[in-house]
Amino acid sequence: MLTQAQQLLKQYYGYSSFRPGQEQIIRSILAGRDTLGIMPTGGGKSICYQVPALLHQGLTLVVSPLISLMKDQVDALGALGIPAASINSTLTGTEVGRTLRDAENGRLRLLYVAPERLESEWFRERVRELNVAMVAVDEAHCVSQWGHDFRPSYTAIAPFLRSLPKRPIVAAFTATATPEVKHDIAGLLELERPEIVITGFARDNLGLHILRGENKRDYITRYVQAHTHQPGIIYAATRREVEDVYEMLRKKGVAVGKYHAGMTDDERSAAQEAFLYDDIRVMVATNAFGMGIDKSNVRYVIHHNMPKNMEAYYQEAGRAGRDGEPGECILLFGAQDILTQKFFIEQSQLSPERKSNEYKKLQSMVDFCYTPKCLRSAILQYFGDVEGEEPCGTCSSCKDDRETVDITIEAQKIFSCIKRMRERFGISTVAGVLKGSAAKKILEYRFNELPTYGVMRNQTEKEIADLINVLVAEGYLGLSEGQYPTVKLQEGALEVLQGRVSVYQKVSRKPLAVSVGDDGLFERLRLLRKELASRDKVPPYIVFSDSTLREMSEQRPITAAEMLNVKGVGEAKFRSYGADFLDAIQRWVGGERSAGSVV
């Protein structure tokens, strides 16, 4: 059957061979074994159950957590000529009944449902009448309360499986699972002697970067303007920060959208649709912009704030470069981020045990932001991937090309000022004193009489505050907890004041760039893809991924046989779009030849 699976892979998806781990998982499923696949984002998890679904005599039921994720998968399968549908809360009772009749009559190969649907006795009764050959559980880490996206409804999956007349094969998939969560998935889903396939958490095409002490707004502005034509996501911790960053970029003329829980369902849906269809290039969002993002050509993900844990960070960062092309993951770390995440934990309704676990996960994230070790190695070790001990050579820890500047004198001025202010005030007040501000608060406390008043008057208060944040990030200063944190000296600051230690700051020479090796043909094909996607009312990546367009622009196929040898071009997509792309490439090649003959 594996030979048939490979034939279907080529026929429908346009690939000649499986990615690492896919063949092992598919072989296990076709042998009738329960299977747990742990693969990185973009590793091709969906193919692992979609291909077996085409070979099984029966229906494959896919449990998926988000409506948007289901819609993307069903649209993508439809474009490949594979009959699939979803049942979700947006459908009427009549539509649900029609979809189940299609499944009952064998007109569907895959049916996507939300886990909450499995709690409905009416739905369970209808499904008992279907020939369910396999149940695939997507985002399986949601079943574990120790995972970062615990969904109580996922605990309904095991009872649902027990209620079926004949137990189907069960395949579970996730991209982020610590050893503890992996054990939970197998146990709580009641997998029977599962084959566990871990392909590793490494994403070699992603550049990981942690920047501390940067002016976040300035950096984001520079980066986005330097990458105008590349889709990107900027994650922020709060709705207000999303709004602020969105407005900042909008006023700069950037094609930007926003997404957070404070928006209406229609507003969020419209924003996501615009991003998926490339009508906007940049999405600024909270983590509400989550698992439903199946856009393959995101070239960068910037975290405006530190996420709450490593699982959330790696899942969000992993939305870059899902097509295998280079992507950048940049985390702009500030000490205030720690307090923000602590506040979220404190305000949550979690049990004391869960809160304790969240604090532990947060500390692991903080340690990651400060680590001098290879970032990729640190991530792999966190997830228990013992293969990842070799430095990657490309992350911000392995390859730091920023300029080193001696800021010892500036640091001594700041530390001295904080000490004379008795460590009782926040960053903005300290910056005001150093600048020589005549603000009412500063005069009331007679800080204008301090020897450090105005000693940094040649710099703006914003620049001074940024420098204080650098010193906090480097551990020379600490911030108290609470809504209005005060700045306090740490042990290292005293050594600097005594002249025994020098302080250095890393300053970025320029924003990190993604090497894309673009040419005019790639851009022409990208525009054609946008036209065809608009015509068919589907997101551009449904037509072809960026990596497929890049291979077209490099190989320049001019016959049907040559086009079908391009990765990502299957028979169904060739019938739908092949002629248009062949015509565009033939015209381009012909134009080059004409230009060459003139010369």
List Cβ neighbours of 112 (8 Å cut-off, separation of 6 or more).
62, 64, 70, 73, 74, 84, 85, 86, 87, 88
Residue 273: Cβ within 10 Å count = 15
Judge if 249 and 346 occupy the same domain.
yes
pLDDT at 88: 84
Judge if 179 and 132 occupy the same domain.
yes
DSSP state at residue 551: H
- CATH number where 488 lies: 1.10.10.10
Sign of torsion, CA 7 8 10 16?
negative
Judge if 30 and 132 occupy the same domain.
yes
Tokens of 121: 């006795």
Domain end point (choices 171, 198, 225): 198
Domain end point (choices 154, 171, 198): 198
In the predicted model, what is the mean pLDDT of residues 457-464?
89
User: Is 513 part of any domain?
Assistant: no
More confident residue, 336 or 408: 408
Q: Are 210 and 333 in contact (CB under 8 A)?
A: yes
Residue type, position 599, single letter: V
Judge if 211 and 300 occupy the same domain.
yes
User: Is 142 part of any domain?
Assistant: yes
pLDDT in tens, 145-184: 776 677 889 999 999 999 999 999 999 998 877 788 888 9
In the predicted model, what is the mean pLDDT of residues 425-448?
95
User: Alpha carbon 77 to chain centroid distance?
Assistant: 22
Give the CA distances from residue 107 to residues 50, 97, 98, 132, 137, in Å, rounded to whole numbers and listed in that order. 15, 14, 11, 13, 22
Q: How many domains does the chain have?
A: 4
Q: Give me the domain span that covers residue 559.
A: 520-598
Reply yes or no on whether the pLDDT at 517 is more than 70.
Answer: no
List Cβ neighbours of 343 (8 Å cut-off, separation of 6 or more).
none
User: Is 416 part of any domain?
Assistant: yes
User: Is 54 part of any domain?
Assistant: yes
Distance between CA atoms of 442 and 448, rounded to whole angstroms? 7
Judge if 244 and 366 occupy the same domain.
yes
pLDDT at 448: 96
Judge if 496 and 524 occupy the same domain.
no
Domain end point (choices 181, 198, 215): 198
Distance between CA atoms of 258 and 260, rounded to whole angstroms? 7
pLDDT in tens, 247-281: 999 999 999 999 998 999 889 889 988 998 889 99
- CATH number where 565 lies: 1.10.150.80
User: Is 211 part of any domain?
Assistant: yes
pLDDT in tens, 55-112: 998 999 999 988 877 888 898 899 999 999 999 888 888 899 999 999 999 999 999 9
DSSP 309-345: SHHHHHHHHTTS-TTSS-EEEEEEE-HHHHHHHHHHH
Judge if 396 and 411 occupy the same domain.
no
User: Is 515 part of any domain?
Assistant: no
Per the confidence metrics, is the pTM higher than 0.85?
no
Distance between CA atoms of 250 and 337, rounded to whole angstroms? 24
Distance between CA atoms of 437 and 455, rounded to whole angstroms? 11
User: Is 128 part of any domain?
Assistant: yes
User: Is 397 part of any domain?
Assistant: yes
Judge if 61 and 111 occupy the same domain.
yes
**DSSP bridge pairs for 62:** 112, 136
With CA atoms as reference, report the closest residue to 243 among 330, 319, 333, 304. Answer: 304
Judge if 451 and 534 occupy the same domain.
no
pLDDT in tens, 310-326: 988 988 998 898 888 89
Judge if 392 and 459 occupy the same domain.
no
- CATH number where 112 lies: 3.40.50.300
Judge if 316 and 332 occupy the same domain.
yes
Judge if 432 and 305 occupy the same domain.
no
